[in-house]
């Protein structure tokens, strides 16, 4: 159950997930993202925007447009320079929260 993928974000934080956890996301939590693994990695690597959760300042939402929808990767910046994927979902609207990064 080692690291399945790890991606460095524009904030310099490395976000990781395990195979087991990724499987849980795409089978139980949000099956609609099963075909969007590459998009999820791209959302971390080259997001259109990053927002900080209002509820938890450690939680960041990485958005990337993929046509009609945005893919959102929710990640916990557990440590200073690393963190992990909480969940991934497709959405048609950007959640509120402090905007901390916008693509040029």
pTM of the model: 0.95
CA distance linking residue 7 with residue 81, whole number of Å: 12
Q: What is the pLDDT of residue 37?
A: 97
- For 6-65, write each residue's pLDDT tens digit: 999 999 999 999 999 999 999 999 999 999 999 999 999 999 999 999 999 999 999 999
CA distance linking residue 47 with residue 27, whole number of Å: 24
């Amino acid at each position: 159950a080692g690291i399945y993928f790890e991606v460095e974000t524009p904030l310099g934080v490395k976000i990781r997930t395990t195979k087991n956890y990724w499987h849980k996301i795409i089978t139980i939590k949000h099956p609609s993202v099963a075909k969007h693994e590459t998009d999820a990695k791209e959302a971390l690597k080259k997001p259109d925007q990053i927002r900080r959760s209002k509820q938890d300042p450690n939680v960041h939402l990485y958005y990337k447009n993929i046509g009609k929808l945005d893919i959102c990767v929710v990640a916990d910046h557990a440590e200073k320079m690393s963190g992990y994927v909480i969940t991934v979902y497709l959405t048609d609207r950007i959640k509120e929260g402090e905007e901390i990064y916008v693509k040029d």
